[in-house]
Every structure is written in structure tokens, then in C-alpha cells.
Amino acid sequence: MHLPYSDLPNHQVLLAVPSKRIKSAVVRNKLKRRMREAYRLNKHLIDGLEVRLVIGYVYTGPNEPADFKTVQDRIITSLRHLNSHYAHTPHETSPT
């Protein structure tokens, strides 16, 4: 999920790992750390956009935790998609 905003100073990211899918809190936190680090290392892919985004990532993978490479590949794919979509689209105003 993503929403364009023009008045935010930076992009905002929400990371969620459902407890229904991953029972252990330790494993959920590990997955959120992996997702956060993958975003941190690759946020430069969307830093050049004029519009600021509010992005939500929800872990929907297998019941066992994905390794960092898998998580990073998925984050990179989504950031590239957002970049290609918003690089050529005129930015919109904030939703009311």
C-alpha cells in the first residue's frame, strides 16, 4: 500500500508481520528488523521523487521467516515499481 503526499519532509514506512502467520514475537521482530534494514539500504531508489510516500509493507510470506536476501529482493522490487510509477506521474495533493 502507498499514498502520495506532497507536504511530508520524508517518506514514511509502516512494517507489519501478522501474529496470525508468525506466532513467535522474537521471529516477528526479526522479520521487521530485516524489512527495516532492507528498506534503509535501498531507500535511495525513491529519494529522487518530488512526491513523498507513505508506504506500508505487510509480511505475507511463508510461516517460517524469510532470509534477508529474499526480503531485500522484494523490497527492491517494490521500490523500483514505486519509482517508475511516480517518476512519470505528476504529484497529487494530500488526500482529505
- How confident is the prediction along the chain (96 residues), in pLDDT tens digits per residue? 566 666 778 889 999 999 998 999 999 999 999 999 999 999 999 988 888 889 999 999 888 889 999 999 999 999 999 999 988 755 554 454
Please give the pLDDT value at position 5.
Answer: 67
Residue 82, amino acid: L
How many Å from the N-terminal Cα to the C-terminal Cα in the chain?
A: 17
Strand order in the sheet with 2-5: 2-5, 52-58, 12-16
Distance CA 86, CA 51 (A): 8
For residues 51 and 82, the answer to whether their CB atoms sit within 8 Å is no
Which residue's C-alpha cell is 517518476?
87
User: At a CB cut-off of 8 Å and minimum separation 6, what does 37 contact?
Assistant: 68
Q: Indicate the pTM of the whole model.
A: 0.82
